[in-house]
Structure formats: C-alpha cells, structure tokens
Structure 1
Amino acid sequence: MTVTTTTTRRSMLPLFAGVASMNTAMVGASTAGTLLAAAAAGSGWSGLPSACGVLGSALGTLGAGTVMARRGSRPVLLAMYGLAVAGALVAFAAAAGTVFAVLLVGMVLVGIGNGAAQLSRYVAAELYPVRRRGFGLSVIVWAGTVGAVAGPALLAPGARVGEWLGLPALAGPVLVAAVASGLALLATATLPRVPPPPARPRLSAVTAFAALRRPVVLTPLVAMVAAQLAMVAVMTMTPLQLEHHGHGLDVVGWTLAAHMIGMFALAPLSGRIADRLGGRVTIGLGIGALVLAAAASAPAGGVELSFGLFLLGYGWNLVFVGGSSLLSRDLPAEERIQLQGVVDAVVWGSSALASLAAGTLFHAGGYALVAVVGGLVAVAPVVLLARRNG
C-alpha cells in the first residue's frame, strides 16, 4: 500500500484525537462502573462492568478486522465510535436509575468503541514504512496519555455534576464518558476519505484461529494476553482497595492517572526500543516491569500504590507495543488486518476473565492476592520466549 506524506499527516491527528477521547470515556465509565457494581451487588461482582467493557472490545476488534479488510478503516471506526456514544448514554441512564443489568449492556457498547481505538494503532502503522511501524503505532498508543490524565481527573468533577443534576454522584462520570465518546466520533469524521483496499479473500474462522498457532503470531499473542490479564486484574481492584483504606475519588483518580500515564505516556520510547532492538526484547523488558509492579503493589493500600500502578502500566505498554510491532511487520499484507483483529479479540476476550476473577480473588484474599496472581500470570510468556530464542 502506497501512502503519501500528506495522507499520513492528515490521518494521524484524527486517529490520535479519536483514541485520546475514547480512552477518556473508557477510563471514566469503567471506574464508575466498578464502584456502582460494588454498591449495588457487593465487591464480588465489582469486576463485572469492566468485564463487559473488555468483552465489548473483543467483539469490536474481531468484527472490525474483517470488515476493515474489505471496506477500509474510516467507515468502521465511525460505526464503532457511534456505538460507544449510544452505549455511554445507556450506561448513564442505568447509573441514574441504579439499574445494574442495563449498565452492563451499556458497558458492552462502550467496549466496542474501545475496540476501534485499539485497532487504530494498526491503521497508523500502515501509514509508515516497515522500519518505522513500531514508532507509528506507538504514537497512537501514546494518545492514551490524554485519557490517562483526563479520565481519572474528571471523576470527581463528574460526580459533582451528577449531584448538581440531582442524580447519584457516580452517574456524572458516565455522562462525561458519553461526551468523550462523541468527541471521538467527531474527530474520526475528519479522516481523509480513501478508496477501499483491494478485494481480499475473507479468512474463515478455522483458518484464522489456526493461524494463531504460527510462531510469528503465537509469541506476541501469548505475551499480550498475559500482560493484559495481569494489568486488568490489578487495575480493576485498585479503586476498591483505596476505598477500603478510606480514600475518596480524588485519590482513586490520581492513582489511576499514574497507572494510565505508565500505560501510554512512554509509548514512543517503547516504539523506538521495538524498532531498534526488536519486539521480542521489548516484550521481555515489559515482563520484568510487570513482575516488579506486582511486588510493589501487593502490600500497598494508599498513595504509595501510584508507583506500583505506574510500573504496571509501563510493563503492559512495553509488551503491548512489542507484540503489536511484531504483528505489524511479520504478517503477510493480505491477512494482516484480519489476524490483528483476531489477536486483539483474543487478548480482550481473555482479559474479561481477569475482570471477573479479580473480584473473586479480592473477595477471597484481598488486594495482595490479586497482585501476586497477576505477577505469576505475567511470567508465563518467558517459557515461550526462551523456547523460541533457543
């Protein structure tokens, strides 16, 4: 695919803005959803809204990868962000009326929009030559920094808006998520209109999932799944850990901000590492950071959690960028976007289990148990990496 410098410039800004806005929406909706679920159904069910969000992300990436291969990226991203707007409004109505089941439906739709944000990094990678694809996709991952700061920072002001409207305080952050999703939709509407890609045969489900066993796909897949499981489990239970230690939404917000900054702010550095040292080395560095993060977070219960959560975020970032760079370089062009969508679907689908398991682990053994299990899961890809290197 030939891409001009002008097209690259005109495409990167809308992609960046869309991801930044959608990440803001996802952070706010997921955090508020966790606290709403705990209040409505107890801590054992607190991970369910986040699980629905990541399930939606899995569904979105699975379907979008196939449609993008035939229709191009712009119409698919617009449709998915549109569903996110609808989902956030549904979740807001549910939060205002404390209807738990409807909240879950809204979170699935918001997650579908998040799936669009995730696939945007591969859209960006295609705008760059092969040697710079790690950097290109990392710039879009970096866009999450805006959401990393804005999402948590808007929790407390959003709660005050909810109270001002005469609604439950936690309905406010969900309303903010609806506005942010709308901004993602508007930004994406400014993407250049380009002809759809050449017609390519659609991969059957059997062929696509068989391809996951190829070494070129399996290594980044396992690494990204493990990192996602570890990160989601610990992150999801952090608001409850802080709440149980007597901290309010301000502390919750800024602790999650430290985590989100780790997840996104240093993405260009991760991209440079992936371009210079390779995706496998980048993955290995990320695994090390995740293990350190689990050790630092397990005994914590206050503002000191910010350090462990920052490390958790950057470890995930290294694995995510390293794995994505391998997938953007090593897969054949005729099946690349479809397999990238399948990989992301598996990653997000498996992390839905982490959200559910996190609540159960927290209920059984507290935050320390969640952190220890997360650290053990993060180490799992080391065996595969060593075997492939050998």
Structure 2
Amino acid sequence: MKALFVGVAAMNTAMAGASTAATLIASHTAGDGWSGLPGAAGVLGTAAGTLGAGHLISRHGSKTALLLLYGAAMTGAALAAGTAMALLLAGMFLLGLGNGAAQLSRYLAAEAFPPHRKGFALSVIVWAGTVGAIAGPNLIAPGATLAGTVGMPALAGPMLVAFVMTGAALLVTTALRRTPAPPARRTSFAALRAPAVVTPLVSMVCAQLTMVAVMTMTPLELEAHHHGLEVLGVVLSVHMIGMFALAPLSGRLADRFGGRAVIVGGVALLLLAAVTAFGVGHVTGLSVAMFLLGYGWNLVFVGGSAMLSRATADQRVQGAVDAVVWSTSALASLGSGVLFGLGGYSLVTVVGAVLALLPLIVLYRRPAPAAPEPHPLPASAGPRSPRR
C-alpha cells in the first residue's frame, strides 16, 4: 500500500505540473489555437495507459506492468522538456501512459484486502491524488527557477520536476513484491456489457462528463465576471480538494452501505453542484458549486470502483472501464466549449445536470443484488463450524 500510494502521488504531481506547463508551451510555440493539444495527448495517453496496464498485469504481473509504464512516463517527461511541438505531444502521451498505470493502481490495492474493505483500500490510493493536486502546481515556480540555473527555458522546469517525480514512482515500485501473472483468461469487450460492469461503467462515465464539462468552463465564467487569476486559483483548489481529500470517507461509506448507495449520493451532489453553478457569478457560489462538483464526482468514482473491484478481478476489464472513462474527458472538454459558445455557462450546467442524472436509469433498471453488496463478516465472527 505504501509503495502504491507514493507511486500514485508522485505520478499525479508530475502530471499536474507538466499539463499546466505544456499548455503554456504550446500556446507560445504554436499559438492559442493549439494550446489544448498537449492536454488531449495526456488524456489519450492516460486512456491507453489504463487499457495497456490491464493487459500487461494479466500477462506479466503488476510490478512489471507498473515499472514499464512508469519508465515510459519518465522518458516522456524528458522529451516534453524540449520546445518542439512534436516532442511535447509525444512526451505528454508517454506521461499519460504512466498516469494510466497510476489510476489502475487502486484496483491493485483493493486486491490486497477482503471484499468488505475493498472500498476503503482503493479510496486511499485515490486520496493520493490530493498530494499531486497540491504539490504539482506549487512546484511550477521552483521548477522554472531550477531550469534557469541550468540554462534551460523557464517552462522546461515543470518537465524537469516531472522527470524527478516519475523517477521516484519508478524507484518506489521496485519495493513491490514480484507476483506471478494471474491465470490466463479469455476476455472480450463483451464483458463490459455484463450487468455487474455496466452500472459502475455508466455511472463513472456520466460523472466524468459532468465534472470535466463544468470544471473546464468555470475559468471562462470567472473571467466573464472580471475575476482575476488569484480567484481562479482559489476556486480550482477548492474543487481539487473536493475531488480527492475526502476519498477515504467515500471508501468507508462504500464498505458500509454499498457502492450503489454511494453512487446515488454522488449523483445528488453533482446535480446540486450544477444547480448551484447555474447563473451564479459570484466567487462564493462558484466555490461551493466546485466543491460539490468535486466531491460528487469522488463519490461516484469510488462507489463505482468499489462495485467493479467486487464484481471482477480481471485487470483487463478494469483497465477497459478506466480507458472508456478517461476517453470521455476529451469528449467533455471539446463539447463543453461548443455548449459555452452556444448558450454560455448556464447551458453547460444544464447539460451537466442531465448527464449527472443518467446513472439513476441504470441503477433502477437493474435490480440490486439479493445479498448486501458489502461482504459479510469474516467466518471467525459467526458461529463456529460443527467440524471444529
């Protein structure tokens, strides 16, 4: 758990700083119209990384898979330190591969715990994202200073920090025990249509769409109301706290009440966030909305992940689900801009609210399991076996 936690925290720190710097580098190099390309490359790399990690784990075991993909991320950070656009895009894609492996690490943590504690186990790894959310942006300025001392452009600094962080993730992963690959299983994308997989898949996809769409357009809404970068930083920090800081609480709730109940709670908060953000231009209202948006997403993400970890231990299925979820981020980013252009921030929040409600259709069309979702108490807590 310690090795997985540190690896995920280091990768999130690398990705947070590198993504911000890559956007600025692309803007300076190729113009504002191309500034979104590095972020898209990182998202696509993350989707490919989750899918690839699942297949690598199933063939070679978890330690080998993480070492390979964190190594690719370290190479990507080195490439992204260059100013050429092609190297920047390739570097961000490789960084995304490592980020995808980090995302899938939550299921590796869940495997080390009994079913009635899987929700909390994976939520601890999700909570590691808090470290990246705080450290990544705050290391941009020191990284720029470091780059200047070695004669490199200032914006190459965050890439140097990413190189160090991915190296730390690679190093700490060597502490994992080398475990044999799981028994070979035939898996197809038809497995994604299984009832136990569809519910968490749809729930996490809709939550991702809502969260990314509203969050992406919030800076433009703040700018439209003449708020500066300081205000933007505060609002986005509140949002990131909501996304990660309370993850262990979400895990406890998932273990106590089941993933379905936690997803419903997350849907309610996402809807409340969209309603709060609708037509609100002042900082306090948007800060509250962004916190609710972040924690609503967290509840759905942790609840859905807990359901999936109990439904299947096949890393290829888990990786495919994460790949779909991350791929929707790119769709949400592009679509939110179109919606903002057509009807402003209000239209974005209305569409976000509709998307947030869609998981309820799947939840209530598919009956809950006959037995409570959380695993029953261990046998030692029940009556003794007559044979003993």
Shared fold by TM > 0.5? yes
Cα distance in 1, alignment partners of residues 118 and 352 from structure 2: 30
Q: Which stretch has the larger CA shift, 174-183 or 321-330? A: 174-183
The structure-2 alpha-carbon separation of the partners of 1:39 and 1:108, relative to structure 1 and needing over 3 Å to count, comes to: same
Question: Counterpart of 2:374?
Answer: none
Query: Within 5 A, what are the aligned runs for 1:145-294?
Result: 145-159=130-144, 161=146, 169-194=154-179, 196-203=180-187, 208-239=188-219, 245=226, 247-248=228-229, 251-294=231-274
User: Which residue number corresponds to residue 109 of structure 2?
Assistant: 124
Task: For residue 120 of structure 2, give the secondary structure of its aligned residue in structure 1.
Answer: helix
Distance 2:19 2:331 in 1: 15
Alpha-carbon contact 1:35-1:239 (below 8 Å) kept? no
The code of the aligned residue for 1:69 comes to S
- 2:77 matched to 1:88? yes
Question: Does structure 1 conserve the Cα–Cα contact (< 8 Å) formed by 2:62 and 2:181?
Answer: no
Shift of 1:197: 3.2
Contact 1:152-1:257 at 8 Å conserved across structures: no
1:7 maps to none
| Cα 1:44–1:222 shift into 2, 3 Å | farther
1:31 has 2:31 as partner: no
- The residue number in structure 1 matching 2:381 is none
Cα displacement string for residues 221-279 of structure 1 (whole angstroms, at most 9, x for unaligned residues): 0011111122223333445555664523x554443332222111111110111111111
What displacement does 1:101 show?
4.0
Residues 246 and 174 of structure 1: is their aligned pair in 2 closer, same or farther, counting only changes over 3 Å?
farther
Are residue 56 (structure 1) and residue 56 (structure 2) matched? no
In the alignment, structure 1 segments of 5+ residues that lack a partner are 1-11
Relative to structure 1, is the Cα distance of residues 144 and 36 closer, same or farther in structure 2, using a 3 angstrom cutoff? same
For the aligned residue pairs, the C-alpha RMSD in angstroms reads 2.6
CA offsets 1:331-352 (integer angstroms, 9 cap, x no match): 2x4xx22211111111112222
2:62 partner amino acid: S
The equivalent residue for 2:329 is 351
Q: Which deviates more from structure 2 when the two are superposed, residues 277-286 or residues 378-387?
A: 378-387
Structure 1 residues 299, 172: closer, same or farther in 2, change over 3 A? farther
Q: 1:174 to 1:389 in 2, by over 3 A?
A: same
Aligned length: 366
Aligned-partner Cα distance in 1 for 2:19–2:12: 10
Task: Quickly say closer, same or farther: Cα 1:374–1:28, change in 2 above 3 A.
Answer: farther
Normalising by structure 2, we get a TM-score of 0.85
Query: How far did 1:46 drift?
Result: 4.4
Deviations 1:172-221 (A, max 9, x none): 33332232222211221222233x13431342xxxx21111111111100
What displacement does 1:302 show?
A: 6.9
Equivalent residues of 1:259, 1:313 under 8 A apart: yes
How big is the shift at 1:355?
2.5
- Call closer, same or farther: CA 1:363–1:217 in 2, change over 3 Å: same
Q: What TM-score results when the alignment is normalised by the length of structure 1?
A: 0.84
Structure with greater Cα Rg: 2
Paired with 1:287 and 1:314, the residues of 2 have a C-alpha distance of 10
- Cα separation, partners in 2 of 1:337 and 1:293, compared to 1, 3 Å: same
Q: Which residue of 2 aligns with 1:8?
A: none
Describe the shift of the 1:81–1:48 C-alpha distance in structure 2 as closer, same or farther (beyond 3 A).
Answer: same
* 8 Å contact from structure 2 (residues 38, 88) kept in 1: yes
The answer on whether the counterparts of 1:61 and 1:341 sit within 8 Å (CA) in structure 2 is yes
Alignment of 1:319 onto 2:319:
no
- Determine the C-alpha separation between the residues in 2 that align with 1:284 and 1:234: 20
Point out where structure 2 has 5 or more consecutive residues left out of the alignment. 369-388
Cα gap change, 1:230 to 1:306, in 2 (>3 Å): same
Shift of 1:130: 0.9
